[in-house]
Structure 1
Amino acid sequence: MFKFTGKILSLTAAALMVSTAVSSAQNLDELIAAAKAEGTLTTVALPHSWCNYGEVISSFKEKYGIEVNELNPDAGSADEIEAIKANKGNTGPQAPDVIDVGYAFGPSAKAEGLTQPYKVSTWDTIPNEVKDPEGHWYGDYYGVLAFMVNTDIVKNVPKDWSDLLKPEYANSVALSGNPLGDNQAILAVQAAGLAAGAASGAPAAEAGLKYFAELNKAGNFVPVTARTGTLAQGATPIVVYWDYNALSGKDELKDNPPVEVVVPASGVIAGVYVQAISAYAPHPNAAKLWMEHLYSDEGQLLWLKGYCHPIRFNDLAKNGKIPQDLLDKMPPAAAYEKAVFPTLEEQAAAKEVISKDWSGVVGANVQ
């Protein structure tokens, strides 16, 4: 088991100023009333297939009767931050209320004054290592990077990063984002560096850039933002993807084409994503209620249903709240034994190297 090492409202003033931590049923009722009065929640970068977000969103709408305005589902973490910056004075439909971003983006967004604090009622069950003490951001789920392989096209399924350099994988390997700003892609570069024997952080970033330069020079790298659809079409037969995206994509395709999901033998890197509320959220109470939904037992199990390890996984397991059928659908525990969880400092150092040197070292413009 993983262990961490991180509309104007006509309401009363009390309802408008809901506490930063919901500590009682009465306070929760006040929050629900305030959120319903706002009537809308605006999200960004939440594909329905990612961590079962489709069901997470629909259950929120059904439970509270609040509309969800979904912006740019395929955006990356950097795009989410820019969406807040670009809409600071905008209370219209293009201003996101909440963001779900890579671990390193949480502290940086707080430092730039882009988030506001809120502690959910289950705050104490979120590990301290992955939450801001003031409540500006907190971990939501995690997974490991894996290879999603279209076995209609790729007959010899790669088992490790070094395999991807073989001539048989020409024009086959793609990332699920642009390493200049997408958290998943940035961590993929680091994972390749770890597989080459480099230490986590800047060394892994440097080694990972050299690896992708070699992969590109060999003609194996496909410089497009890959998804389950591009894999199924044969444009990107091998996609470096979060395990939960790959597994949910496999379910979605229903063996058309057949897919194999492989956690590599080395360079297994785990990534924690975090939630935050925009400092400029047009619907702050709906945003807080959204957080309550996500961090409730119900919300956490909906993420697990989408193959994501929810951040409260240990607490739920300890209290016997995880159905066995959900556990049985996950990869075996042994697949995660070598997983490396980079610290915030290591991620920040690696991100700086990769964003600065990707174009010059790798020479591939991911579209």
Structure 2
Amino acid sequence: MTRTLAVSLAASVSFAAVAPAYADASPELIAAAKKEGQLTVIALPHDWCGYGAVIAGFKAKYGLTINELNPDAGSGDEVEAIKANKGNTGPQAPDVIDVGLSFGPTAKEQGLIQPYKVSTWATIPDAAKDKDGYWYGDYYGVLAFEVNKDIVKDSPKDWPDLLKSDYANSVALAGDPRTANQAIQGVYAAGLSAAKGDASKAAAEGLKFFGELQKKGNFVPVVGKIASLTQGATPIIIRWDYNALADRDNGKGTAIDVVVPQTGVVAGVYVQAISAYAPHPNAAKLWMEYLYSDEGQLGWLKGYCHPIRFNDLAANKKIPAELLAKLPPAEAYAKAVFPTLDEQNAAKAEITKGWDSVVGAQVK
């Protein structure tokens, strides 16, 4: 990703409006997908980005069965699932993946994904897509603190606060930082805060920060989820704001606070791609058409993700006012930083390699 994208996404509306209406997927594609009859997805928990409703909407619209693999998998696991099932046309072979930005170009280089340009291609910012259509941004958010207020009375306001004795045995990542993009970005964000915005030092400082968090007994080596949060096992989770905001609405009686830190505000773009070995390639293409339609994009926004076509939808007044009212105020995102692909790749390599030796916590 480029810094240009960072500026554009942070703005309320900065991309030129394109045509306000788009045709549905072609009858030929719909027919071909229905003939295949099934789509296999991976790593799509229903409480992530509104995916539960998005999946239901796709099934209702086209009548296809969706086979859902390992909803708790990380981006690295998704790529490995393609590799492991190259010659497999059975139910364990994913047709599509939804991964962190840095995983898209890597998967392309390894020949694991195939190109496809959706009908709304022109409304996806150039900086958020592969020019040949191998991968394309779908949504973005920022790393935030999700806090169980029934247990933690004073929410942390910034990364250094997490080191306080008040938060002993309380802080968790939402994934394994050796494989999961969300967790890797969490380490990076903490480091960017410690490095005062110096991206070249963020990974090292992030590892050092979590090493200190582990040493103080504040870090919990468990993958943080809504269940562990409400049960008190991980009363503070570092995770994408859209997941935390969805939990706030669905906490089932638990009071949840969502805090965007004062420094080290890291935004992350996720990308979609179709497996080069997809057993159901037409169903995969139809899935992409749905995700990048107005309906699909608004489905993600209802799950508190900023869809990649957000500015286009806003320019064409397609976002319901009541939906906009539920989103956090724009000033919470004013300091958001969108790491470049080079920065992400360098940080991912350093964090995944150094976690065991510097931090030494086996996240499970």
TM-score, structure 2 normalization: 0.93
The answer to whether the 8 A contact 1:222-1:236 is kept is: yes
| Aligned partners of 2:246 and 2:304 also within 8 Å | yes
Counterpart in 2 of 1:150? 148
Q: What CA deviation, in whole Å up to 9, does each residue of 1:49-102 have, x standing for no partner?
A: 001000100110010010000000010000000000000000000000000000
Q: How much has 1:197 moved relative to structure 2?
A: 2.5
Deviation at 1:250, TM superposition (A): 1.2
Give the match for residue 265 of structure 2: 268
The whole-number CA distance in structure 2 between the counterparts of 1:201 and 1:195 is 10
Match for residue 116 of structure 1?
114
**Among residues 314, 318, 324, which one is paired with 1:321 in the alignment?**
318
Question: SS at the partner of 2:204?
Answer: helix
Counterparts of 1:127-206 in structure 2, within 5 Å, are: 127-206=125-204
Map of 1:354-365 to 2, 5 A cutoff?
354-365=351-362
Q: Is there any run of 5+ residues in structure 2 with no aligned partner, and where?
A: 10-21
- Residue 212 of structure 2 is matched in structure 1 by 214
Counterpart of 1:101 (choices 86, 99, 102) is 99
Counterpart Cα distance in 1 of 2:332 and 2:134 = 32
- 2:7 is the counterpart of 1:3: yes
Counterpart residue type for residue 217 of structure 1: K
2:357 counterpart letter in structure 1: G
Query: Partners in 1 of 2:129 and 2:41 — Cα distance?
Result: 21
Q: Which deviates more from structure 2 when the two are superposed, residues 299-308 or residues 27-36?
A: 27-36
- Alignment partners' CA distance in 2, 1:31 and 1:3: 36
2:15: which partner in 1? none
What SS does structure 1 have at the residue aligned with 2:222? coil
Name the CA shift for 1:306/1:181 in 2 (closer, same or farther; >3 Å): same
The code of the aligned residue for 1:3 comes to V
Residue 67 of structure 2 corresponds to which residue in structure 1?
69
221 and 26 in structure 1: CA distance in 2 versus 1, 3 angstrom threshold? closer
In 1, are the aligned partners of 2:192 and 2:199 still within 8 Å (CA)? no
CA RMSD of aligned residues (A): 1.4
TM-score for both structures, normalised by structure 1 = 0.93
Match of 1:12 in 2: none
Residue 253 of structure 1 is matched in structure 2 by: 251
Take 2:268 and 2:25, find their aligned partners in 1: how far apart are those partners? 33
TM superposition outliers: structure 1 runs of 4+ over 2 Å: 1-5, 24-27, 197-202
Q: 197-206 or 234-243, which moves further after superposition?
A: 197-206
Report the 3-state secondary structure (helix = DSSP H, G, I; strand = E; otherwise coil) of the residue aligned with 1:68: strand
2:37 to 39, 46, 53: 39
Q: Deviations over 1:245-278 (max 9, x none)?
A: 0010111114x21110000111100000000000
The worse-fitting range, judged by mean Cα deviation, of 195-204 and 54-63 is: 195-204
CA–CA separation in structure 2 for the residues paired with 1:299 and 1:325: 17
* 1:90 corresponds to which of 88, 91, 94: 88
Secondary structure of the residue that 2:211 maps to in structure 1?
A: helix
For residue 286 of structure 2, what is the aligned residue in structure 1?
289
The one of 25, 28, 36 equivalent to 2:26 is 28
1:330 to 327, 332, 335: 327
1:323, 1:55 → 2: CA distance? 17
Show the counterpart of 1:309. 306
Distance 1:195 1:261 in 2: 18
Q: Do the aligned partners of 1:4 and 1:129 also contact (CA within 8 Å) in 2?
A: no
Unaligned runs of 5+ in 1: 6-23
Change (3 A) 1:299 1:226: same
Contact 2:197/2:264, CA 8 A, preserved across alignment: no
Aligned residue number for residue 16 of structure 1: none
Does the 8 Å contact 1:226/1:236 carry over to 2? yes
Is contact 1:190–1:200 with CA below 8 Å preserved after alignment?
Answer: no
Are the equivalent residues in 2 in contact too, given 1:41–1:283 (CA < 8 A)?
yes
Cα offset for 1:26? 9.5
Contact 2:220 2:234 in 1 (8 A): yes
Q: Would the aligned equivalents of 2:6 and 2:338 in 1 still touch at CA under 8 Å? A: no
Aligned residue number for residue 14 of structure 2: none
Asked if the contact 1:204–1:350 (Cα under 8 Å) also holds between the matched residues in 2, the reply is: yes
Q: What does 1:220-235 align with in structure 2 at a 5 Å threshold? A: 220-235=218-233
Q: Which amino acid aligns with 1:298?
A: E
Distance 1:25 1:182 in 2: 36
Offset of residue 3 of structure 1: 3.2
Counting matched residue pairs gives 348
- Secondary structure of 1:50 counterpart: coil
Contact 1:198/1:207, CA 8 A, preserved across alignment: no
| Identity within the alignment, % | 68
